[in-house]
Structure 1
Amino acid sequence: MQPYTTGQIAQILNAKLEGDPNLEISTIATDSRTPSKSKGTLFVAIVGKHHNGHKFISELYNFQHIRAFMVSDTLGLAEKFPQATFIVVKNTLHALQKLATYHRAQFKYPVVGITGSNGKTIVKEWLNQLLSPDYSIVRSPKSYNSQIGVPLSVLQMDSNFNLGIFEAGISLPGEMLRLQPIINPQVGIFTNIGLPHQENFEDLDEKITEKLKLFKSSELLIYCKDHELVDRIIYNDDTLSGVKLLSWGVHPQSTLHVESTEEHGNGRAIRVKYGEETFSFEIPFTDQASYENAMHCLSLLFYLNIDRTTIADRMAKLSPVAMRLELKKGVNGCTIINDSYNSDLGSLSIALDFLLQQKQHDNRVLILSDILQSGYAPELLYSMVAQLVEEKEISHIIGIGKNISRYAHLFDISKEFYSNTLEFTQSITRRQFSNSAILIKGSRNFHFERIVAILEEKVHRTVMEINLNSMVHNLNHYRNQLNPGVKLMVLVKAFSYGSGSYEIANLLQFNRVDYLGVAFADEGVSLREAGIALPIIVLNPSYGAYELMIENRLEPEIYNFEGLAEFANALDRMGVNEYNIHLKIDTGMHRLGFTGEQLPELTSTIQSLKSIRIASIFSHLAASEDSGQDEFTQSQIALFSTISDEIISAIGYKPLRHILNSAGIERFPHAQFDMVRLGIGLHGISPTQQDKLLPVSTLKSKVIQVKHLQPGETVGYNRMGKINKPTTVAAIPIGYADGLNRKLGNGIGKMMINGVLVPTIGNISMDTCTLDATGVDVKVGDDVVIFGSNPTIMEVSQALNTIPYEVLTSVSQRVKRIYFQE
């Protein structure tokens, strides 16, 4: 970012300045969870429905030594933080956007703005691939296209670049009007329209109209004329009357007319006509989405008059865009973060922040390739990388490439450098790496997948993919339903419903949930050993584990007098006072908990014990998802309110109260009390709001053999799979030892191969099962989805006449979990 002083920023924003006007700012931060120890950092305290950046000023001042803050409230701040400088504005988000708008106006080189429902990031990244040999490009990191992401992206602009490419996304009417002056694109690309974020718009017409506001001052708009609704609205939009249109499509009136497309092997040949010119090229993709994305890119390349031979050559070499960071288990207790297909400053910073979330390791290793076509002079580029590495607390860097090796002296930490990937892979042994978090970050042509293959833990081909972005979406869906001040506990028992242990807890800690819940003490101990500092409640504590729990600051659920006495004795033996416990009340589940009849004895006992403090009073709803049981649920809530009121009156202080689970949050908002408990809803499963949630877990395997059988033959144990017609049978390496229920055999279960749902055939074995893939173009190595987006886990559980909890938690530990963040 081009530096500004705090005085200049205050002047640009017409803001009040309290403190030093001469502090130089070169970095803007909005997230207190991503450390930045740069002296040139300005923290913008964003205020939202469930977060307030002002709460973290003390932490940032004292531990990250940040001294510049943009705030909307300075009450008492100057006295608390005498060395800090405050830029005081009315609304910090709007001020950040205003600063970015000013910054954008300082540069005259062309800017491309991209919006639409899907494909924004792919088009942006492909344009970078296609144009980076000719331009120095500044672009949005990853998918930074929100009200905060856009200004942060545009603030990267400086004189080292000569082309900007930024994407913009909206979820509400009116938002694009705030983003338009920030990007102010000369050229616009409208990718397509679809259903994402539709819930806040009256119809698709309104959403298209809102998105098109990005281009009201543009010189050129590129879009697909085959999208009839988009085409109609563009032609009828008076705000676009001065914008030149460059359309593409099979529609005969398209500016760039697609005359033919033909799939062949793994690619597609396309012939287009542009005026009197006919042009043919190929792309290495066959799917419709890639075709559309490539055509948007081609349209811009034609507009920029790029040499046609060059276009054809570069189009044929388009590579898939790595849209996600993968987290997986590595050798010798390591955790691997695989981001081995692209490397630039923006995505490096994001990947390093993800690395910092992994609290289970103190040692953090970065394996980094040369950063290609950054737009910066090499020495400046690697000095910026070195500063970033220092800020993000990396323990050891391994640089691979001639350029980064040339500037090894800039890195003042433990380091080693190699001229190429082969030199590195030939020099290392797996024993060199142990108990470390390792980020593997490289440009695609360095082939860092070879390094990943050496360092990842070897397991069989069946994997469970966990989408961390979807999990955060689901978390925020429930969080947005909470009243102000209501706390959130998330249950991570049973290996986080089969999804993982510290991997999920790290994510929840990063997203500032208030409590974690586990079933047994050893689960909580594992989380503490992995660096999880959140309060943790143990829901099924055993008497023998009480001292271990106290040593690890784990808080027990107490549901009977014996447990209360035993825990008090353990506290006395260890000399501990006022230790948090959680009282369980039985309001109708009739499983565990104190009853109303036991209240007098309970309150008397609690008052006599100085070693304990009641952190919360809670109960379980028996049928919160069943509308036919609502009267009973309401009686449980009323009884809980009465009993907890009596306890609070007796003890003289007010613990937290909570009774709602995932379904309860959705259906009984009046009963949120002080905290709610989120469980299965985090994983994208809901009886009432399924359409608002995203699937988190995908269980996948691979085809390992294909057979063509004839009538009269059989498949599997006990010859249960009878062949009555010529049949193609695909074998996959997953069985009941992996958690695949045997009841899904013999056609009961269905799995997805190459977009087709196919039934099982024969019995499911311990380690394998077989599918009837007749009529499907199937080969060894093809992906097979057991559950995910299709078939869903709900559909699998319905086939088994059970609940999704059982399906999720049944996936065995020998199935490798891969965590990814898009």
Structure 2
Amino acid sequence: MQMTALEIAEACGGRILCGDPQTMITSVSTDSRKISPGALFVPIRGERTDAHAYISATFAAGAAATLTQNDTEKQDNHVWIAVPDTVEALRRIAAAYRSRFTLPVIGITGSVGKTTTKEMVALALSSRWNTMKTEGNQNSQVGLPLTMFRLLPEHEVAVIEMGMSDFGEMARLAQVARPQYAVMTNIGVSHIQQLGSQENILSEKLHITDAFLPGSILFLNGDDPHLAGLRHRMPAVRKVWFGMAPWCDYRPEQIERQGDGTKFTAHSPWGSVTVELPVPGAHNVRNALAALAVTKELGGDLQEAADALAGYAPLAMRQQIHRTAHGLTVIDDSYNASPDAIYSSLEVLGGIPGRHVAVLADMLELGAIEKKAHEEVGLCAARGGVSLLVTVGERARWIAAGARSYAAPPACHSFRTNEEALAFLRAHLQPGDVVLVKGSRGMHTDEIVKGLL
């Protein structure tokens, strides 16, 4: 990126306190430990730390300018820009930078599966175009603006992951990224503690369309009941459907499990194509269908997109399948957890031969439904043929209770900590066991995975 300090101040309504307004800014960072020469530092006040304390260190590391909401006067050779709120200023600067580009932007949202869908969509698009995508899951009120600064003139399309956990957040992100196309994967119960209902979650996520233009397209999962309810709503927005339902525009047939992968035929209004994914699960079939739909509707080739998807590799802690020297198969899905995500993971577990072991930790931010949601996950695990269920955390004891309510329950063992669960697993796992490990990010169940590998 390249913006002068004056352009940045004008974009965010800031006031330059000192330094040369023509100073060229070539990057933006909120992390004082990751400063490159020419950077703008954006210090953010956190619950425990105010990053304004690190401004001097960023200048020593080569930063050319800083925002500040703590200062109204300053004498320095470096550029200081005073703003009322650094996070809001960051969004406004990112929106101004985004406005310099006319390339297609595809926003990706949904309660679960955003990151995997984003990766597949970007991979399929890259078969034809120079594609910029969100790194990891930088989809937040801070992460998304930082992503926009990675846009370069040579990029031909951008795939932007857009997450939200409260009212108003998606609308703010849409004003920054301004996607002309959007993919919605599903409407689950993630963050329902803050948003109150799935209807509210849907309503908030639909703000991803706030910057739509004539010709924009909303890609929707027809298998999700809340999204399917949009079939006869929003008549002004063109909708393209993907999913297993026979009425979907992009739908699969002849789905076959092939080792750790999946083969299927994708049907579309433009013809059919065989897709071979190196990952299992019906949810990944839907993700791939979304990728094919976006690529084709933007003018790409279905076969080229399918060929690209054959090279997909899951990101860390997202259903990565490891085989250990001790004869275990470990499914590392420890990045995060919600009921819908666990249901998909249990399906993957059930498709791999062996004794099925599920290690499930607390699911967070479920509010009033948390007890019922945990119990239903346990019942699903029991019905799915899990032989050994290990739970971690106080809430996860409800998962064990749900499993025990099944007519033929698995052996259930509950622990308070990852360390206790790992010690039990090491003592009781056998060669040939298939072990799923999953829990909310705050439960750090990747510690269990590391202990098993």
Residue 60 (1) aligns with residue 53 (2): no
Deviations 1:104-126 (A, max 9, x none): 11111111111111111112211
Following superposition, the deviation at residue 808 of structure 1 comes to: 1.7
Quick one: distance in 1 between partners of 2:275 and 2:332? 37
Residue 39 of structure 2 contacts residue 62 of structure 2 at CA under 8 Å; is this kept in 1? no
1:808 counterpart residue number = 420
Quick one: distance in 2 between partners of 1:58 and 1:112? 38
Residue 104 of structure 1 contacts residue 183 of structure 1 at CA under 8 Å; is this kept in 2? yes
Following superposition, the deviation at residue 263 of structure 1 comes to: 1.9
User: Which secondary structure does the structure 2 equivalent of 1:757 belong to?
Assistant: coil
2:253 to 216, 237, 260: 260
Quick one: distance in 1 between partners of 2:26 and 2:326? 47
Residue 323 (1) aligns with residue 321 (2): no
Following superposition, the deviation at residue 89 of structure 1 comes to: 1.1
Quick one: distance in 2 between partners of 1:199 and 1:758? 32
2:301 counterpart residue number = 307
1:15 counterpart residue number = 14
Quick one: distance in 1 between partners of 2:330 and 2:397? 13
| Superposition map of 1:242-257 within 5 A | 242-256=236-250
Change (3 A) 1:47 1:692: farther
| Superposition map of 1:774-793 within 5 A | none
User: Which secondary structure does the structure 2 equivalent of 1:159 belong to?
Assistant: coil
TM-score (norm 2): 0.71
Change (3 A) 1:758 1:278: closer
1:71 counterpart residue number = 68
1:756 to 373, 385, 397: 385
Quick one: distance in 2 between partners of 1:685 and 1:137? 34
Change (3 A) 1:180 1:808: same
Deviations 1:357-414 (A, max 9, x none): xxxxxxxxxxxxxxxxxxxxxxxxxxxxxxxxxxxxxxxxxxxxxxxxxxxxxxxxxx
Following superposition, the deviation at residue 43 of structure 1 comes to: 0.9
Quick one: distance in 1 between partners of 2:417 and 2:171? 44
Deviations 1:125-145 (A, max 9, x none): 112322323211111111010
2:98 counterpart residue number = 104
User: Which secondary structure does the structure 2 equivalent of 1:756 belong to?
Assistant: coil
Quick one: distance in 2 between partners of 1:10 and 1:280? 51
| Superposition map of 1:89-168 within 5 A | 89-168=83-162
2:40 to 35, 42, 45: 42
Following superposition, the deviation at residue 235 of structure 1 comes to: 3.6
Letter in structure 2 aligned against 1:5: T
Quick one: distance in 1 between partners of 2:271 and 2:330? 50
Residue 415 of structure 2 contacts residue 421 of structure 2 at CA under 8 Å; is this kept in 1? no
Following superposition, the deviation at residue 255 of structure 1 comes to: 2.8
Residue 72 of structure 1 contacts residue 92 of structure 1 at CA under 8 Å; is this kept in 2? yes
Following superposition, the deviation at residue 47 of structure 1 comes to: 2.8
Following superposition, the deviation at residue 290 of structure 1 comes to: 0.6
Following superposition, the deviation at residue 288 of structure 1 comes to: 1.5
Following superposition, the deviation at residue 15 of structure 1 comes to: 1.7
Residue 113 of structure 1 contacts residue 165 of structure 1 at CA under 8 Å; is this kept in 2? yes
Residue 226 (1) aligns with residue 219 (2): no
Quick one: distance in 2 between partners of 1:205 and 1:800? 35
2:436 counterpart residue number = none
Following superposition, the deviation at residue 305 of structure 1 comes to: 3.6
Quick one: distance in 1 between partners of 2:161 and 2:167? 17
Following superposition, the deviation at residue 26 of structure 1 comes to: 1.1
User: Which secondary structure does the structure 2 equivalent of 1:138 belong to?
Assistant: strand
Change (3 A) 1:184 1:234: farther
Change (3 A) 1:103 1:819: farther
Letter in structure 1 aligned against 2:205: K
How many residue pairs get aligned? The number is: 384
User: Is there any run of 5+ residues in structure 2 with no aligned partner, and where?
Assistant: 338-360, 372-380, 405-410, 428-446
Letter in structure 2 aligned against 1:144: Q
Change (3 A) 1:813 1:281: closer
Residue 221 of structure 1 contacts residue 244 of structure 1 at CA under 8 Å; is this kept in 2? yes
Quick one: distance in 2 between partners of 1:214 and 1:162? 21
Quick one: distance in 2 between partners of 1:71 and 1:309? 50
Quick one: distance in 1 between partners of 2:331 and 2:305? 36
Residue 179 of structure 2 contacts residue 211 of structure 2 at CA under 8 Å; is this kept in 1? yes
Quick one: distance in 2 between partners of 1:134 and 1:276? 17
2:205 to 190, 211, 222: 211
Quick one: distance in 2 between partners of 1:302 and 1:470? 31
Residue 217 of structure 1 contacts residue 243 of structure 1 at CA under 8 Å; is this kept in 2? no
Following superposition, the deviation at residue 23 of structure 1 comes to: 2.2
Change (3 A) 1:794 1:270: closer
User: Which secondary structure does the structure 2 equivalent of 1:209 belong to?
Assistant: helix
User: Which secondary structure does the structure 2 equivalent of 1:98 belong to?
Assistant: helix
Deviations 1:70-94 (A, max 9, x none): 1112156x25xx3332111111111
Deviations 1:323-380 (A, max 9, x none): 349xxxxxxxxxxxxx9x9xxxxxxxxxxxxxxxxxxxxxxxxxxxxxxxxxxxxxxx
TM-score (norm 1): 0.41
Letter in structure 1 aligned against 2:303: T
Aligned-residue CA RMSD (Å): 4.3
Following superposition, the deviation at residue 306 of structure 1 comes to: 2.8
| Superposition map of 1:382-393 within 5 A | none
Letter in structure 2 aligned against 1:758: S
User: Which secondary structure does the structure 2 equivalent of 1:811 belong to?
Assistant: helix
Quick one: distance in 1 between partners of 2:304 and 2:370? 45
Following superposition, the deviation at residue 758 of structure 1 comes to: 1.9
Change (3 A) 1:207 1:691: closer
Change (3 A) 1:247 1:807: closer
2:5 counterpart residue number = 6
Residue 116 of structure 1 contacts residue 192 of structure 1 at CA under 8 Å; is this kept in 2? yes
Change (3 A) 1:96 1:308: closer
Deviations 1:586-622 (A, max 9, x none): xxxxxxxxxxxxxxxxxxxxxxxxxxxxxxxxxxxxx
Following superposition, the deviation at residue 170 of structure 1 comes to: 0.4
| Superposition map of 1:145-544 within 5 A | 145-218=139-212, 219-233=216-230, 235-237=232-234, 241-256=235-250, 258=251, 260-266=253-259, 267-275=261-269, 277-315=271-309, 317-324=310-317
Quick one: distance in 2 between partners of 1:66 and 1:791? 45
Change (3 A) 1:796 1:231: closer
User: Which secondary structure does the structure 1 equivalent of 2:55 belong to?
Assistant: helix
Quick one: distance in 2 between partners of 1:273 and 1:282? 14
Following superposition, the deviation at residue 809 of structure 1 comes to: 8.4
Which of the pair has more CA radius of gyration?
A: 1
Quick one: distance in 1 between partners of 2:257 and 2:169? 42
Residue 115 of structure 1 contacts residue 168 of structure 1 at CA under 8 Å; is this kept in 2? yes
Residue 794 of structure 1 contacts residue 804 of structure 1 at CA under 8 Å; is this kept in 2? no
Residue 168 of structure 1 contacts residue 179 of structure 1 at CA under 8 Å; is this kept in 2? yes
- Larger RCO (CA under 8 A, 6+ residues apart): 2
Following superposition, the deviation at residue 753 of structure 1 comes to: 11
User: Which secondary structure does the structure 1 equivalent of 2:159 belong to?
Assistant: strand
User: Which secondary structure does the structure 1 equivalent of 2:285 belong to?
Assistant: helix
Change (3 A) 1:53 1:269: same
Following superposition, the deviation at residue 818 of structure 1 comes to: 5.4
Letter in structure 1 aligned against 2:144: V
Query: Mean alpha-carbon deviation: is it higher for 93-102 or for 126-135?
Result: 126-135
Letter in structure 1 aligned against 2:100: Q
Quick one: distance in 1 between partners of 2:145 and 2:301? 33
Q: Percent identity?
A: 22
User: Which secondary structure does the structure 1 equivalent of 2:264 belong to?
Assistant: strand
2:30 counterpart residue number = 30
Residue 131 of structure 2 contacts residue 159 of structure 2 at CA under 8 Å; is this kept in 1? yes
Quick one: distance in 2 between partners of 1:806 and 1:788? 7
Residue 465 of structure 1 contacts residue 819 of structure 1 at CA under 8 Å; is this kept in 2? no
User: Which secondary structure does the structure 1 equivalent of 2:386 belong to?
Assistant: strand
